[in-house]
Amino acid sequence: MIMMLLAVSVALLTPCGASTTKTMRAAVATGAGKKEGDFSKIKVTTVPVPQPGRGQVLIRVAASSINPVDWKIMASFALKPLTLFGPKVMGFDVAGTIEAVGAGCSRLKTGDEVWADLGKSSILHPIQLGAWAEYAVADESQVGLKSSKHNFTEAASLPLVALTDYQAFKKAGAPWTGRSNLTVVITSGSGGTGLPAIQLAKHFGATRIVTAASPRNIELLKSLGATDVFDYHKTTIWKELEADSVDFVYDNYGAVGTADLAMPSLRSGGVFEFLPGKGGAISKKPKQGVTQINYGLCDSSKHEDLDALKAIADVGHLKAVVKQSFALEDILGALNASFSGHAVGKIGIAVAQKSAGAVAVEEVAVEDPVRPCHAILRGYYGPLCSEENRAGSCESIGYTPFSCTASGWPVCCIGHSGGDSNNPHWYKAGQKCSDMHPDGAAPFAPCEGEPTTALIV
């Protein structure tokens, strides 16, 4: 009888559909960097696959993304105790497929396509993380079903930034149903939080959406819903706005002194809210009738907020912008691209070996007609250590050349050999990837015949 009870107990605690894979590749921190931008303690290595406990799910990760908070944490004192007993798998944003569910889970099932922000915190686990790996564990309560409007790369770019914006807008009184001529200012339009914020402002009822960006991004922001986009190289938002003309200032940049600069433009009854992190603060002399909010930290514990974002995405009101995507094995390239400060939208991390669906690869004109194999991998701009030192020394990023398989996009004869990101290396017909990179790139069937549009499979 005792043995039977033990067997039943073990069966109840065993995750349904548990993965038989024992190890996985993951980007881990072995300690804290000396300063922001020091990624010497970050590496990709093989670690055990985590197992879901009660109320948890195991996600087979398809994609993740980079947030500035990722490289801020890497240089923080908080990371030191987290790596005291071994490497810590990094990363907040995750999108993938449910691989297994632990005991007590009832909402999600094996095979569900999901997204989440692994940013929960508690006394025992100050920083959750774990997204930059082939598998990740999360509480079922924090994981939502992803929108069918997003592929995995797009879905993985949104959880942290979109949750931040959604919760910030709710604190400020959104949705603004029944209000007319409502004006919202978003201080930084083209960054990670800026692009979702523009779309949410429009979705929630704003009729005028004001932001700032560099000239090359103005059309993008207007296509997402911004009505007034000022070139921050020439002017400031506050110089251009009339007094008492704004209902909500969302200071997603959080620079010192922004609250004071914003006060004249805010109406009585308006709201000023800032994201902390760059020295921003509330004004010590606010305009009468203006509410000031320190946003604080994103709450990633409730799937209900993700479900609300999914509903917004399902009607086409929340699009993702991922201009660059790196293979997990090239995590240092992704981090350096983010740290450069010039990224538009989010930088993606391709983790899965296969895409969820076929996506047409963009064709690019070829100046030299003797190079007919001209389908290139859209969105991958990873550096190739052996040809160009774009992400640090070869010692720091490893001698692994670009591999279609490692990137998660197995396509014939596609690679990046340095130079400008928009001018990848062209392979001649009949050549294999392995011919070009004898030190380890996966071999593929040669491209044959005239150029055609390829598919990611």
SS3 state of residue 60 = strand
C-alpha 444/C-alpha 453 separation (Å) is 17
CATH topology assigned to domain 168-294: Rossmann fold (3.40.50)
CA distance linking residue 98 with residue 113, whole number of Å: 7
SS3 285: coil
Residues sharing a CB contact under 8 Å with residue 438, sequence separation 6 or more, in sequence order: none
- Quote the CA–CA distance of 425 and 388 in Å, as a whole number: 12
Helix (H, G, I), strand (E, B) or coil at 319: coil
**Which residues are CB-contacts of 63 (< 8 A; sequence separation ≥ 6)?**
94, 95, 96, 152, 153, 155, 156, 325, 348, 349, 350, 351, 352, 408
Name the token pair of 416.
Answer: 């990046």
Rounded CA gap, 173 and 180, in Å? 14
pTM, rounded to two decimals: 0.76
Got the DSSP string for 334-373?
HHHHHHTT--SBEEEEE-SSS-SS-EEPPB---SSTT--B
Domain borders along the chain are 21-158+320-336, 168-294, 360-452
List Cα–Cα distances, 97 to 55, 282, 349, in angstroms. 17, 41, 16
DSSP string, 172-186: TT---TT--S-EEEE
Fold for the domain defined by 21-158+320-336: Quinone Oxidoreductase; Chain A, domain 1 (3.90.180)
Partner residues linked to 326 by β-bridges: 349
d(CA 309, CA 147): 9
- The tens-digit pLDDT sequence of the chain (457 residues) is 555 544 444 444 556 666 668 999 999 999 999 999 999 999 999 999 999 999 999 999 999 999 999 999 999 988 888 898 899 999 999 999 999 999 999 999 999 999 999 999 877 677 899 999 999 999 999 999 999 999 999 999 999 999 999 999 999 999 998 899 999 999 999 989 999 999 999 999 999 999 999 999 999 999 999 999 999 999 999 999 999 999 999 999 999 999 999 999 999 999 999 999 889 999 999 999 999 999 999 999 999 999 999 999 999 999 999 988 899 999 998 999 898 877 889 999 999 743 333 233 333 332 332 222 222 332 333 333 233 333 333 233 232 333 333 333 223 333 333 322 333 333 333 333 344 333 333 333 333 333 333 322 2
Residues 117/298, Cβ–Cβ less than 8 Å:
yes
CA distance 24 to 133: 7
Determine how many CB atoms are found less than 10 A away from the CB of residue 398. Answer: 13
